[in-house]
Chains A and B, each alone.
Chain A
Amino acid sequence: MATFPDDNILLADFKEPATREQAFTLIIKKYQEKLYWHIRRIIVDHDDTDDVLQNVFIKIWKGLDNFKENSQLYTWLYRIATNESLTFLEQQKKRTSISLDPSESNISNRLKSDEGFDANKLEWKLQLAIQELPEKQRVVFNLRYYDEMPYEKMSEVLETSVGALKASYHHAAKKIEDYILNH
């Protein structure tokens, strides 16, 4: 696994014109997979994920000079990625005028249309169950279940209290369990 410089070094190098592009490239390489999977689990489709991820990094390029460093860099990156993903879903809903009922969501249909989809496999049932969750609860579940993000960090990303996040995650886990057992 490749090792990358500490975030404070990358930020310092980004501020210098001579090393700006190199530092930005390293930031991309350091966080691309984490952010990609975070977005992909919300949006599902690869091409849409690619669009959103590129927009995220372009926003990072434009905003990194103003980054206050009062939170960790990766927390800030996750926050941008989350907001962009949720905004994308909102815009997609408006474009396609899909039903607000999660059970008829376009994303569930996209899952089912994936060439590897197998309704009998537990891993696919888990994905369908996750897509049944309201969007923000889906984000909470993904961050805790897949990224094992501490609640304190999640609180900075989602600007929600730790208590609310814990309750949301526990509730989500139970809903997912019920879905899998009943399908």
Chain B
Amino acid sequence: MTISPLLAKVSNENVFSVPEGYFNTLNQLILRKASAQNPTLSVPEGYFESLSSNILNRIKEEDALTELRNLSPMLYSVQNENVYKVPRGYFENLASVILSKVKVPAKVIGIRSRSIWKYAVAAVLTGVIAINSLLMFNKADQQVAYNTLKANPGMPSYISEASKYKTEDDIKNAVASLSNDEIINYLQKTGTVADNEILNNEIDPKDLPSQKDYLDDQTLETLLQQIQNTN
């Protein structure tokens, strides 16, 4: 009244009109338009339903630092200096070290089915054992020992094979001619560090020598006794 008597006479009436129900549908309209402009935007299912409870939970939960400050000011004041040392480059190399341990080996450990190699390694090494044991006796009896071995009708085939190796040089040359893979395969088959589970999964039982082909302790002892008796 004191500033403008004229304005004071004008009534406080809103002259503008708004379509009916405008404010009731405004929020949906805006959301629809926003989605249309940014069709890639999405919200995880249930996000808005759980938002309020998540916020309240976070307010209620004391963060670790606040808890520690209230619980033990002394511990809170301890500088969190790491006293443990880590070798340089440890973390840079760790992933490659672990990956090399979990990757399936490119080479499959298996027993080849070619008969000559199936028995060749066993022949050479078993021959070494058998012949070296014979060398403990008189060297002059070596020829007798070889003939006895070869002549025995019950002799497994790979012992006959082994009888071809008459001197230590023969044995050394034969072993030298074996590839690393063949020696590794043989040692892994018979060695104490063989991974039985892998071998069991990789070996076809049909490729293995049958039980009767193995030279067991009793057979070897019988043979040695025969050789001694012959002498």
Contacts and interface: CB of A to CB of B under 8 A. Distances in A.
Interface of A: 21, 24-25, 28-29, 32-33, 36-37, 40-41, 44, 46, 50, 53-54, 57-58, 61-62, 114, 116, 121-124, 126-127, 144-146, 148-151, 170, 173-174, 176-177, 180-181
A181 B77 CA distance: 14
Contacts of A180: 74
Given A28-B95, A58-B101, A144-B64, A126 B78 contact: yes
Contact of B86 (A25, A44, A46, A146): A46
Interface string B58-75: 000101110110011011
A40 B84 contact: yes
Given A46-B86, A145-B68, A173-B75, A21 B103 contact: yes
A54 B64 contact: no
A123 B78 CA distance: 7
- Ranked nearest first, the 7 interchain pairs of A and B with the lowest CB-CB distance are A148-B64, A28-B95, A61-B102, A57-B98, A173-B72, A123-B81, A25-B95
Contacts of A53: 94
Given A62-B102, A114-B83, A145-B75, 6 more contacts: A21-B103, A28-B94, A36-B91, A145-B68, A173-B72, A177-B74
A112 to B, nearest CB: 12
Nearest to A44: B84
Contacts of A37: 82
A44 B85 CA distance: 10
B95 A46 contact: no
Contacts of B102: 24, 57-58, 61-62
B64 A32 contact: no
Contacts of A57: 98, 102
Interface of B: 61, 63-65, 67-68, 71-72, 74-75, 78-87, 90-91, 94-95, 97-99, 101-103
Contacts of A32: 91, 94-95
Prevailing SS type, chain A contact patch: helix
A104 to B, nearest CB: 21
A28 B103 contact: no
Contact of B75 (A33, A61, A177): A177
A24 B99 contact: yes
Given A40-B84, A124-B83, A170-B71, A150 B95 contact: no
A54 B101 contact: yes
A170 B68 CA distance: 9
B76 to A, nearest CB: 10
Nearest to A50: B90
A123 B85 contact: no
A25 B99 contact: yes
A58 B98 CA distance: 7
A36 B63 CA distance: 24
Contacts of A126: 75, 78
Contact of A123 (B72, B83, B95): B83
29 contacts: A21-B99, A21-B103, A24-B102, A25-B95, A25-B99, A28-B94, A28-B95, A32-B91, A32-B94, A40-B84, A46-B85, A53-B94, A54-B94, A54-B97, A57-B98, A57-B102, A58-B98, A58-B102, A61-B102, A114-B84, A116-B83, A121-B83, A123-B78, A123-B83, A124-B83, A126-B75, A145-B68, A174-B71, A180-B74
Contacts of B94: 28, 32, 53-54
A69 B19 CA distance: 50
